[in-house]
Amino acid sequence: MMKLKILSGCIVLNDKKEIFLLWRNKHSWYETPGGKIDRDECFDLKNPTISELQRAAIRELNEEVKGITSITEVKYFGSVNFQIPDKGEAIAHKFTVCVKGTLSPNEDIFDEKKSKFFSISGLQKQPLSRDLNLLLEKIQTEINKK
């Protein structure tokens, strides 16, 4: 039996309520910055706290995205269970973060030209990662309320 992978990431927003997405070349889709929680980031890897998940999400954001000059309004958004391609079950925890700066990918698994800010309403026209697809309706509803 494969164990559940616990992921944490950020829904990155600018002051126009646009969302920054990274284009992952390998899967030909857009995704939010994020990744696995490191063993040393939490007391109980099977049951991380919201603050441990938040630290991991911000670490992943800083690893995967460059050009951020400020990060504010970090809030827990929710989680979703999904299948990782070829890797089994996962749960992705997401935090909304407001950023300033000229953002671009910091890792070459992402395409610099395709990674950019999108209007929330235009997201359903884009190829999205499985977790992002499952959260799309909530993102469109919640972010537009702010």
In tens, the pLDDT along 39-85 reads 888 888 788 999 999 999 999 999 999 999 999 989 999 999 998 87
Return the pLDDT at 144. 73
What's 49's domain CATH number? 3.90.79.10
Q: What is the 3-state secondary structure (H, E, C) of 29-88?
A: EEECCEEECCHHHCCCCCCCCHHHHHHHHHHHHHHHEEEEEEEEEEEEEEEEEEEECCCE
Q: What percent of the chain has pLDDT over 70?
A: 96
Residue 112 predicted with pLDDT over 90:
yes
Q: Could you tell me the residue range of the domain that residue 22 belongs to?
A: 5-141
Quote the number of domains for the chain.
1
In this structure, is residue 146 part of a structural domain? no
Q: Residue 93's pLDDT band (boundaries 50, 70, 90)?
A: very high
**Coil, strand or helix: which one is 21?**
strand
The CA distances from residue 26 to 61, 92, 108, 128, 129, in Å, are: 19, 19, 11, 13, 11
